[in-house]
Amino acid sequence: MKKLITALLILIACSALAQKTLTRCIGFSVYYHDYNPNNPLFTRLTDSAVYKYSGARPGEIIPFSNYINLKFDQQIRQSTTEGNTITLQSFDKKDNVIQGLVIYQNTFDSISKVEFTYTANNDTASIVKYKYQNKNWVPYTREVKNYNTAHSILSYSFENWNTTSNTWRYYTVDSFIYDLSGQLQEKRSYIWDNINNQWLASAKSINTYNNGNLTETLQEYFYNGAWMKYSKMIYGYTGTLLDSAISYGWDSSTNNWSKFGGGNIYTYNSNHLLETRLEINNNAHRDSVFRLTYIYDTANNIIKYTQEDHTLRNKWRNTSKFDITYDQYGNQTELTILSGDSSGTGWQYDAASVKVRYYFKVIDSTESVRTIASNRVDVNLFPLPASGEIMNIYAKWETPQSFRVIIYDMQGRTIQCWDEPSCSIYTHSINVGNLHPGSYILKLQGHSEQALKQFIVQ
């Protein structure tokens, strides 16, 4: 089930959530099935949480995510798998999270802390994690990021705390080089040599573009003092929509790209939303391994997502299905996960079946939270999935206004943030090559309109 949920998070962009009234999530609950295949009841409560807020901070749940942009002051969680916890958050004047404190099992002897700092442009500068040991806070990892004026990351380093010398010890660092248009040309990775106290080159990726579309990514590794070809990814498009991403391996015996390494084939519906993703095996016949299919409602929200595996009998078999419901404000209120039955053509309730419920509250004026107008802002991101280095943003505001652009990771941390002047049509290209593979949220927050888009970086 964990693999299925991981696959679920690797999804396409969700629709913009235009809200008439600002709401925020006040809790969620997770139920598993009672093992009776003939009884569609979910009775085993395994996880639940309630949230407390102050001021105008949002509490937004994005489809296919249990926790995103929840700027709560306190979370009280009970979980049969992860234990009971209390999480406390504090914020700076820009409402960025600067500290998260997690108390496990309601005892102060088991506790962790995360601290965030930001640049003057509101980009995440550092993330430091601590453990509470012997009544003292002891750091153990630190992430440090540097950016250029376009908010594109220039370097990302990961460090470990040396408890003997009480200093930070380098571990890895990535550096990024861009062309004049802001497209990522090259990424290099280094590993710190503790014996000789120097950085050692380990790997690099080189990107090639055509008319703004990423067409090839070449991967090389450093070995015996020289760069060696390892793999490459070839991308195909129809216009700006990504149709295929196929990988090849370098054959050093023939000095040629002769090893097919698998890939993905994408199709889209008439609204340019991802409809199917076909994953290809890495054998010579290029047999498909599994197929993902997405169904949307009239508001372009995903309401169903299915996964099928390809069998040796040359037929597709159902493996998992995800059904999603929404409230009148566009909030995801329920997620139900079922498994494929023994025939491979239907669905069944079993021990792996899960139902997640989300609970929301409409915030009134007494809580100093303004109402969001029902005017719509249309947002498109392309290419999707963002398997290249550049992702383009196109937004059309019904009412011209200045706004803030924010990118969150799936833990609700601000990855990038910048302000834009008033306009009715907004186009912008951002670098996503510096982001780790996974799901992210793009938020456009204006004075009278807002939009949220989920995207994945492969």
Distance, in Å, from the CA atom of 452 to the CA atom of 372, rounded to the nearest integer, reads 13
Is the per-residue pLDDT at 7 higher than 90?
no
Distance, in Å, from the CA atom of 381 to the CA atom of 273, rounded to the nearest integer, reads 10
Is the per-residue pLDDT at 312 higher than 50?
yes
Is the per-residue pLDDT at 375 higher than 50?
no
- pLDDT tens digit string along 168-179? 999 999 999 998
Domain edges within the chain = 2-457
CA dihedral 5, 302, 292, 458 (to 10 degrees): -70
AA letter at 331:
N
Nearest residue to 19 (alpha-carbon basis) of 380, 369, 441: 369
Q: Which of 26-40, 214-228, 331-345 has the highest average model confidence (pLDDT)?
A: 214-228
| pTM: predicted TM-score of the whole model, two decimal places | 0.75
- In percent, how much of the chain has pLDDT > 70? 83
Q: What is the mean pLDDT of the chain?
A: 81
Distance, in Å, from the CA atom of 444 to the CA atom of 452, rounded to the nearest integer, reads 7
**Residue 262 CA to its chain's centroid (Å):** 23
What was the pLDDT predicted at 432?
Answer: 80
Listed in order, strand segments (DSSP E) in 119-225 are 124-133, 136-147, 153-162, 167-178, 184-193, 198-210, 213-223
Distance, in Å, from the CA atom of 281 to the CA atom of 424, rounded to the nearest integer, reads 45
What was the pLDDT predicted at 225?
Answer: 92
DSSP string, 209-273: EETTEEEEEEEEEEETTEEEEEEEEEEEEETTEEEEEEEEEEETTTTEEEEEEEEEEEEE-TTS-
> Which range is least confidently modeled, 19-33, 153-167, 199-213, 335-349?
19-33
What was the pLDDT predicted at 4?
Answer: 33
- pLDDT tens digit string along 44-75? 888 999 998 887 676 766 554 444 557 888 98
Is the per-residue pLDDT at 371 higher than 50?
no
- pLDDT tens digit string along 412-457? 667 788 888 888 888 787 878 777 777 788 888 887 677 777 777 8
Distance, in Å, from the CA atom of 266 to the CA atom of 276, rounded to the nearest integer, reads 6
Is the per-residue pLDDT at 1 higher than 50?
no
* Dihedral sign, Cα of residue 188, residue 192, residue 193, residue 197: positive
Nearest residue to 126 (alpha-carbon basis) of 167, 94, 88, 96: 96
What was the pLDDT predicted at 374?
Answer: 36
